[in-house]
Amino acid sequence: MKQPNKFKIGIIQLSFSKNPDDNLNKAVKWIEKAADKGAQVICLPELFRSQYFCQSENIDYFDLAETIPGPSTDAIGKVAKKKKVIVVVPVFEKRATGLYHNSLAVVNTKGEIAGIYRKMHIPDDPAYYEKFYFTPGDLGFKSFETEFGNIGTLICWDQWYPEGARLTALQGASILFYPTAIGWHPHEKKEHGKAQFESWQTIQRSHAIANGVYVAAVNRIGLEKENKDSAGIEFWGKSFICDPQGIILAEASHDKEEILIAEVDLNRIEYIRRNWPFLRDRRIDTYGDINKRFLK
């Protein structure tokens, strides 16, 4: 497949309601906006069909899951075909009865599903009880060849792991997309909020630098409470796109719905990798222990 040396990406930072249909309709409208702004590859936030339900363990929330293909990929497939764009569509996937994943589908310009990625690293932290809902991914790390370029897709908690970024980049991805749902516990924000956010941004910029790729992290915004008595999570937004040197090309606010547009330039990747040849100098003959949990 012949691909251009440059293509434009768009990431969409949004807030979400408790109504899945409203969220899907909203996403479709914002995809159209991003396409009209020139985006050719577009990414939505993690689990965009709902508010972030993993704040508690509740079996009723499994009713939010859907199949792939299903309602989300069908609706977004139509707008992708209409606008001739690629869309990264995060999905709470019902794979089988009692088997669920935190997944995404890559929908191509024909409105078809070009591939699926299932979140590999599943967290279990206060108000992020994802292990209750999601089976770890079993498809491995993925780079998808599209009409515009090779794109890598990971999901939220994956963004903290250099191994996932490296294995995706080694498959030829020119950009790593990280659809995300991350925020502050309100009672921690004053003391730890700045450091938490900066750690999140720094680790992802480091993936760009270490692998010589672009990185796009797309988060949600808003304070989401499961009920009036819960503290909730204040999602910090700040979606961003950086280049292979870790330079931030576009950055959103903490609290506004926004579209970020940036250009992926394969010549820029070539230039950075020639000057910082980290892939060349890797000692792959010495890394055998990386697949061990601990070395003591």
pLDDT digits (tens, 9 = 90+) for 235-269: 999 999 999 999 999 999 999 999 999 999 999 99
- Quote the pLDDT of residue 229: 85
Angle at CA 160, nearest 5°, toward 156 and 163?
Answer: 110
- Quote the pLDDT of residue 56: 96
pLDDT in tens, the chain (296 residues): 678 899 999 999 999 999 999 999 999 999 999 999 999 999 999 999 999 999 999 999 999 999 999 999 999 999 999 999 999 999 999 999 999 999 999 999 999 999 999 999 999 999 999 999 999 999 999 999 999 999 999 999 999 999 999 999 999 999 999 999 999 999 999 999 999 999 999 999 999 999 999 999 999 999 999 888 889 999 999 999 999 999 999 999 999 999 999 999 999 999 999 999 999 999 999 999 999 999 98
Does 156 participate in catalysis according to the annotation? yes
Asked if the bond preceding 69 is cis, omega within 30° of 0, the reply is yes
Count of structural domains within the chain: 1
75 lies in some domain: yes
Does 242 participate in catalysis according to the annotation? no
Does 46 participate in catalysis according to the annotation? yes
Q: What is the pLDDT of residues 36-58, one digit of tens each?
A: 999 999 999 999 999 999 999 99
Catalytic residue among 94, 142, 147, 156: 156
199 lies in some domain: yes
- Quote the pLDDT of residue 21: 98
2 lies in some domain: no
296 lies in some domain: no
3-state secondary structure the chain: CCCCCEEEEEEEEECCCCCHHHHHHHHHHHHHHHHHCCCCEEECCCCCCCCCHHHCCCHHHHHHCECCCCHHHHHHHHHHHHHCCEEEEEEEEEEECCEEEEEEEEECCCCCEEEEEECCCCCCECCECHHHCCCCCCCCCEEEECCCCEEEECCHHHHHCHHHHHHHHCCCCCEEEEECCCEECHHHHHHHHHHHHHHHHHHHHHHHHHHCCEEEEECEEEEECCCCCCCCEEEECCCEEECCCCCEEEECCCCCCEEEEEEEEHHHHHHHHHHCCCCCCCCHHHCHHHHCCCCC
Catalytic residue among 94, 119, 142, 238: 119
Give the position of tokens 């206060």. Answer: 126
293 lies in some domain: no
131 lies in some domain: yes
8 Å CB contact between 101 and 93: yes
CATH number for 155: 3.60.110.10
215 lies in some domain: yes
152 lies in some domain: yes
| Both tokens assigned to 158 | 């994956």
- Quote the pLDDT of residue 143: 97
User: Which residue segment(s) compose the domain that 23 sits in?
Assistant: 7-282
